[in-house]
A and B are shown apart, each in its own frame.
Chain A
Amino acid sequence: MSFAANLPLFSVVGCLLASAVSAVLRAKPAAWVTRILAALVAAASVPVLLLGLKTGTAVTYTMGHFPAPWGNELRFGILEPLVSGIFALVLLACVVGGDRELKRDIEPAKQNLYFVMVDLVLAALLALLYTNDLFTGYVFIEICTIAACGILMIRQLGRTTLAAVRYMIFSLIGSGLFMLGIVFLYSLTGHLLMPNLKTAVAALWASGESRTPLLTAMCLITLGLCIKSGLFPFHFWMPDTYGYSTPCSAGILSGLVTKGYIFLLIKIIRCVFGVEVFYASGIQSVLYVLGVAGMVVGSISAIRVNDVFRMIAFSSAAQIGYIFMGVGLSPELGTAAALFHILTHAITKPALFLSASRLSEASGGRKRFKALQGAAHRNPTAGAAFAVGCLSMIGVPLTMGFIAKYLFAFAAFRENRLLVPTLLALAISTVLNTFYFARTLIRVYNTRGVTPVPPVRLRTQPGYAFAAILLTAENVVCGILAQPLIEMLTKGLSVL
């Protein structure tokens, strides 16, 4: 086995170690540990990705050389390193780009603890991506929940604490259901490793026995992960969670944490339930309907709020709807489109949160739309990054958002039954998206009634500038050169 196959495990263990070390460091070194860690994780995923592309198969990594069914395993092909690399880059952009807000929002004595939590989030996300064992998945879901709650509640506002409580309650309901589903599945099959489970589930389904308990287990697992990722109608924790946390946390929570759960769900559908069983069970239709409903309801809610952070948060609910619509649509093209949208949203949403924070800072710290009039002229970098993010969310060509919508529509053409509803949902949701994002864009670029002030220079905000350039460049490059990425996603999906 080549050396690259060790790197996923090293990444996870490295994140755990870094979080332990950060606990005794001061804020500044802890911040640098996290930055270097994220960069290293991103770099480490490259050889793993190359390995996957070269062999074209998935590697099963048995930890401690205990064979199945006793040992614990990691499994990775093309998708896992690709997604983990992009996630690590986005996390890097978040912690670098939100540096000034972190100093403002967190007590100085607790700043190093923030980075402990960020390292743990990264560790948990990597483990969720790479694991081949359902119970390990559950444990890291809980670690992810606790760490995510940590980066949320560290801002000591009343509303933030309240948002943290609500986030925890929804998350715990979700993980409780997920665990019960695993226990059901374990009692039916006697396995927890994904390949063994898949064989056992397929045999059980073919035999027709215990159909109801099997369906219940599948429903519980899917429902648990849907609640945790904020699919409509479980999205009510989103606006407060993202709106009142520090922008770095908002970016990580909306861009990465929810996506980790969705990726795990896609992996479970592929590697545990099996595509044939899952898409014959009827659960996918529920996901499709809820996804479409989320696309519309999330956007309508976003139109109705008058606070820019809450607007972006509600837009997240709509984007999660897109992803689940793709998963429900079809196992190949639809899910590939969903994966592409996972990346789109992971790259775009943090850029929007960070930029909105800088625009609001340039407007005296106010978040209402009225106060943001002409803000893009007061901070041109933030304005430009915000504009690219908005255009990507609307789905304008040359950005990732366009490719994602194109892929959803393309997938719909292969599913005759769902063609018309999918295209309609895409059209309505795009119109709604355009309405509120374009409205905000016009607002921040319109200088009527605003006395001009000298703009904030790029040089005075190096951290943010780095993040804005990194995220915007990723967005535009992946939007223009999308074909290799799509090919990797489709190929990765087939070897998942």
Chain B
Amino acid sequence: MLQSLWENRIPVAAVVLFAVGFTTLLLHRNLFKKIIGLNIMDTAAYLFLTSLGYISGRKPPIITDGVTDASAYVNPLPAGLVLTGIVVSVSVTALMLALTVRLYERYHTLDLDKIYLMAKDEEEEKK
């Protein structure tokens, strides 16, 4: 059991990180912590994907010494996927931060529950 955990330490770490990020995103009331949770969650998936793409002893697929045998190189696709994923998560984070700024300017708190109550009161007053 322990041995298999150790052999699969990177996927295990990725799953643990994913769980940490997921619960933070879902359960934390503070908006900033939610965003941090989101980033941890994404990073976990990238860690997993990167570890899949790495085979020890092989090189990145850039031919410098004339070796054209494919078995000397790793598949570049997982790294490409991770790059794409990073771009996606950067833009999503930026959007979430923009929303957070807007909410903070209006309600002067980052606690989502408090903001919800204030927004509800605001609407009741209008009616």
B122 near A146 with CB under 8 A, answer no
B42 near A164 with CB under 8 A, answer no
Which of B's residues lie within 8 Å of A, judged by CB? 18, 21-22, 25-26, 31, 34, 38, 41-42, 45, 48-49, 52, 77-78, 81, 84-85, 88, 91-92, 95-96, 99-100, 102-103, 106-107, 112, 115-116, 118-120, 122-123, 127
The 8 closest A-B pairs by CB, nearest first: A158-B119, A142-B88, A159-B119, A176-B41, A187-B52, A183-B49, A162-B119, A165-B99
In the complex, residue of chain A having the shortest beta-carbon distance to the beta carbon of B99 = A165
A156 to B101, CA, bound (A): 13
The one of B103, B120, B127 that contacts A165, using a Cβ cutoff of 8 Å: B103
A168 to B102, CA, bound (A): 14
Mind listing 11 A-B residue pairs with CB under 8 Å? A138-B88, A153-B102, A158-B107, A162-B119, A164-B99, A165-B31, A168-B99, A172-B38, A176-B21, A176-B22, A183-B45
A142 to B89, CA, bound (A): 9
Residues of B within 8 A of A202 (CB): none
Q: A183-B49, A187-B52 are in contact. Are A159 and B123 (CB under 8 A)?
A: yes
B106 near A158 with CB under 8 A, answer yes
Residues of A within 8 A of B26 (CB): 169, 173
Residues of B within 8 A of A192 (CB): 77, 81
B116 near A169 with CB under 8 A, answer no
Residues of A within 8 A of B112 (CB): 165
B45 near A146 with CB under 8 A, answer no
B88 near A139 with CB under 8 A, answer yes
A149 near B107 with CB under 8 A, answer no
In the complex, residue of chain A having the shortest beta-carbon distance to the beta carbon of B118 = A158
The one of B34, B45, B52, B120 that contacts A179, using a Cβ cutoff of 8 Å: B45
In the complex, residue of chain A having the shortest beta-carbon distance to the beta carbon of B84 = A139
User: A466: CB under 8 A from chain B?
Assistant: no
User: A186: CB under 8 A from chain B?
Assistant: yes
A381 to B77, CA, bound (A): 55
Residues of B within 8 A of A45 (CB): none
User: A283: CB under 8 A from chain B?
Assistant: no
Q: A146-B91, A158-B107, A168-B99 are in contact. Are A176 and B49 (CB under 8 A)?
A: no
B92 near A161 with CB under 8 A, answer no
Q: How many A-B residue pairs have CB under 8 A?
A: 86
8 Å CB contacts to B: which residues of A141-177? 142, 145-146, 149-150, 153, 156, 158-159, 161-162, 164-165, 168-169, 172-173, 176
A168 near B96 with CB under 8 A, answer yes
Additional 15 contacts, C-beta under 8 A, given A161-B99, A172-B92 = A135-B81, A146-B91, A146-B95, A149-B99, A158-B122, A159-B122, A159-B123, A162-B119, A165-B31, A168-B95, A173-B26, A176-B18, A179-B45, A183-B52, A368-B127
User: A180: CB under 8 A from chain B?
Assistant: yes
Taking the closest CB of chain B, its distance from the CB of A367, in whole angstroms, is: 9
The one of B77, B78, B85, B92 that contacts A146, using a Cβ cutoff of 8 Å: B92
B99 near A153 with CB under 8 A, answer yes
Taking the closest CB of chain B, its distance from the CB of A212, in whole angstroms, is: 13
Taking the closest CB of chain A, its distance from the CB of B90, in whole angstroms, is: 11
A404 to B77, CA, bound (A): 43
B18 near A145 with CB under 8 A, answer no
Q: A135-B84, A158-B106, A164-B99 are in contact. Are A186 and B52 (CB under 8 A)?
A: yes
B92 near A145 with CB under 8 A, answer yes
Residues of A within 8 A of B118 (CB): 158
Residues of B within 8 A of A169 (CB): 25-26, 34
Residues of B within 8 A of A172 (CB): 25, 38, 92, 96
A183 to B77, CA, bound (A): 12
In the complex, residue of chain A having the shortest beta-carbon distance to the beta carbon of B120 = A159
The one of B22, B34, B48, B91 that contacts A183, using a Cβ cutoff of 8 Å: B48
Interface centre among B31, B99, B127 (most CB of A within 10 A): B99
A162 to B91, CA, bound (A): 19
8 Å CB contacts to B: which residues of A101-151? 135, 138-139, 142, 145-146, 149-150
